[in-house]
């Protein structure tokens, strides 16, 4: 299925209701706006975000008047497109790099969201930009996660610092960073433990690790399939530990779009990268304009 297919067809029914109209009016946009509202809610976009979106689009739609050569349905598509881009943060949000010494990227997230996979994908992504990388295995609660990171590290040919499961994450972070400085690597990426849900221990450990690493980027990895819950998670992690952005995974699955459309607006933090597959190459920047284009079909 085409990504966000349901959202795309839900929006299409809005444009279709304007066929044959000459100009957008307060009256003839009522039904289309209802379709847009429904489509966004069904895509699991957060309700306050939907409300604001519908209001902004409605106000603009009524204000445009007649534009020669542009049909009202096309006008509405254009307004919705621009508002979708704005909703997703407008511009691409680039990764920040440290001015001197290694850039440190701390990855956090719940279990199973794709954190370990993303760690290695990100190393490959940065390696392709000519940066030397090192991975730190900090998921001390899942020995399998450490093994997995070591395997993935080999696959992308990036060294992995691992110290087993008996060492505290903050201590692993300290040792790993020391090693990275010794090796003069450009970017250090630390994978951390995820839990099934947020708990106090997890947050305290993350805070310790963050204090130790003083990271350039703290990125929360969230699963696109969790819809608006992803946006709520980004908000919570930002309040608790302070993050610089999010990485949205599993966009190749049948996610409905709610996460991509809610994260920035709900949390104030941008989605910086997206994962769209299980291969190591499947990581790319989050382009709000391209995403809007895909949603509009």
253 binds ligand GDP (CB under 6 A): yes
User: Which value, to the nearest 10 degrees, does the dihedral of the CA atoms of residues 178, 147, 191, 119 take?
Assistant: 110
Compute the least distance from the CB of residue 108 to ligand GDP, in Å. Answer: 10
Binding test (CB under 6 A) with ligand GDP, winner from 72, 89, 114, 288: 114
Q: How many degrees, rounded to 5, is the angle at CA 100 between CA 162 and CA 270?
A: 75
252 binds ligand GDP (CB under 6 A): yes
275 binds ligand GDP (CB under 6 A): yes
Q: Which is nearer to ligand GDP, 45 or 225 (CB)?
A: 225
Binding test (CB under 6 A) with ligand GDP, winner from 48, 112, 143, 242: 112
C-alpha separations of 288 from 192, 274, 292 in Å: 28, 11, 6
Compute the least distance from the CB of residue 233 to ligand GDP, in Å. Answer: 13
Among 2, 18, 9, residue whose Cα is nearest residue 42: 9
Among 292, 296, 291, residue whose Cα is nearest residue 274: 291
Q: Which stretch binds ligand GDP (CB under 6 A): 1-9, 52-60, 153-161, 275-283?
A: 275-283
Residues from 131 through 150 that contact ligand GDP (CB under 6 A): 145
Q: DSSP readout, 244-292?
A: SEEEEE-TTSS--SHHHHHHHHHHS--EEEEE-SSSTT-EEE--HHHHH
State the binding string over 180-209 for ligand GDP (x if CB under 6 A, else -): --------------x---------------
7 binds ligand GDP (CB under 6 A): no
Compute the least distance from the CB of residue 101 to ligand GDP, in Å. Answer: 27
CB atoms within 10 A of CB 155: 11
CB atoms within 10 A of CB 99: 7
Q: Which stretch binds ligand GDP (CB under 6 A): 35-43, 86-94, 112-120, 205-213?
A: 112-120
Binding test (CB under 6 A) with ligand GDP, winner from 249, 255, 262, 267: 249
> Is the dihedral angle over the CA atoms 241, 252, 295, 8 positive or is it negative?
negative
116 binds ligand GDP (CB under 6 A): yes
111 binds ligand GDP (CB under 6 A): yes
Q: Which stretch binds ligand GDP (CB under 6 A): 92-100, 113-121, 162-170, 172-180?
A: 113-121
Element (H, E) at 188: strand 187-192
Kindly provide the b/e burial profile for residues 240-268, where b requires at least 16 CB atoms within 10 angstroms of the residue's own CB. bbebbbbbbbbbeeebbbbbbbbbbbbbe
276 binds ligand GDP (CB under 6 A): yes
Q: Which residues bind ligand GDP (CB under 6 A)?
A: 109, 111-117, 145, 194, 249-250, 252-253, 275-278, 282
């Amino acid at each position: 299925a085409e990504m966000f297919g349901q959202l795309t067809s839900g929006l299409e029914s809005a444009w279709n209701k304007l066929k044959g109209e000459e100009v957008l009016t307060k009256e003839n946009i009522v039904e289309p706006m209802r379709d847009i509202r429904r489509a966004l809610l069904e895509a699991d976009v957060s309700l306050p975000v939907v409300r604001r979106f519908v209001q902004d689009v409605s106000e603009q739609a009524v204000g445009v008047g007649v534009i020669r050569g542009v049909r009202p349905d096309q006008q509405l598509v254009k307004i919705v497109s621009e508002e979708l881009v704005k909703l997703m943060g407008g511009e691409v949000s680039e990764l920040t790099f440290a001015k001197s010494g290694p850039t440190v990227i701390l990855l956090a997230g719940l279990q199973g969201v794709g954190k370990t996979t993303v760690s290695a994908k990100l190393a490959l992504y940065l390696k392709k930009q000519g940066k030397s990388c090192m991975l730190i295995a900090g998921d001390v609660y899942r020995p399998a996660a450490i093994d997995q990171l070591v395997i993935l590290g080999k696959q992308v040919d990036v060294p992995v610092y691992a110290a087993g499961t008996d060492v505290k994450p903050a201590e692993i972070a300290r040792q790993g960073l020391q090693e990275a400085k010794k090796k003069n690597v450009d970017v250090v990426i630390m994978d951390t433990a995820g839990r099934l849900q947020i708990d106090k221990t997890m947050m305290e450990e993350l805070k310790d690790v963050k204090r130790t690493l003083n990271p350039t980027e703290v990125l929360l990895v969230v699963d696109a399939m969790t819809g608006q819950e992803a946006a709520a998670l980004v908000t919570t992690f930002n309040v608790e530990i302070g993050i610089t952005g999010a990485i949205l995974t599993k966009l190749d699955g049948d996610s409905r779009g709610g996460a991509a459309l809610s994260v920035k607006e709900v949390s104030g933090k941008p989605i910086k990268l997206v994962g769209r597959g299980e291969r190591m190459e499947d990581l790319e920047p989050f382009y709000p304009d391209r995403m809007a284009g895909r949603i509009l079909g």
